[in-house]
Copies of this chain bind each other. A is one copy, B any other.
């Protein structure tokens, strides 16, 4: 039982799940596709609903146990998915011996973004013969497809803003600085670095409120793209219902994402929130062939 789009349908799948709603979505879709699912839920992060599946709780200090859990399930494929709201504090949690060996790699990864904590576990798992796959390989509809997904018809000015904002976001992405930018009336008004997309959108709202950047009604877009060096299997830029809410609050008209390389978490809710608020969501192909997805 295989389909061209869903990887390894029918085979057992292990999902190492952190926070947010996406892990539940992935587990449900995998099960619906006929896969035998094991969820290994990070304590303090994983959604309680995940216990509907075959479930193993895991403390950060027990990361070394992941290997045996996956093996016991008979899985070769592993998905690492979910957000990390609280950085593990390795000074207060008990750490088992196997995890201790993993620690240098984890600590190194924690210097980077939150998602890197998961990202750097890949090498460890691959060395042990597992195959780390992206959640979007199990659930293709997680990823934005090219085209206009929501909202009213797009005026030329907004299409220009989309191009300008996407160009800025790609520019900083190539430098590994961030993956989002905002353009209004042809000008880039904010660029994301360590503060994250939500804080950047809040800043845009303040700049607008203080008259530092002027526009009337709703105008401009948030662009979000992946970095060329990003491992999309475990670290895909994501928009969700809260992104739509933040964009509306900032007075922006829409969101433009890179097709095939940006995840829409809680797709139904996100698209519904966008339609309800008249917010445009556009997905564009990766840079006129320069950066194929």
Contact = CB atoms under 8 A, between A and B. Distances in A.
A196 B210 CA distance: 13
Interface residues of A, number: 28
Q: Which of A168, A194, A207 has the most CB of B within 10 A?
A: A194
A194 B207 contact: yes
A212 interface: yes
16 contacts: A112-B187, A167-B175, A168-B172, A171-B171, A171-B175, A172-B172, A172-B191, A176-B188, A188-B193, A188-B194, A189-B193, A190-B193, A190-B195, A194-B212, A195-B203, A195-B212
Interface of A: 111-112, 167-168, 171-172, 175-178, 181-182, 185, 187-196, 199, 203, 207, 212-213
A193 B187 CA distance: 9
Contact of A194 (B176, B199, B213): B213
A187 B176 CA distance: 9
A192 B168 CA distance: 12
Nearest to A204: B194
Nearest to A185: B111
Contacts of A112: 187
A178 B207 CA distance: 15
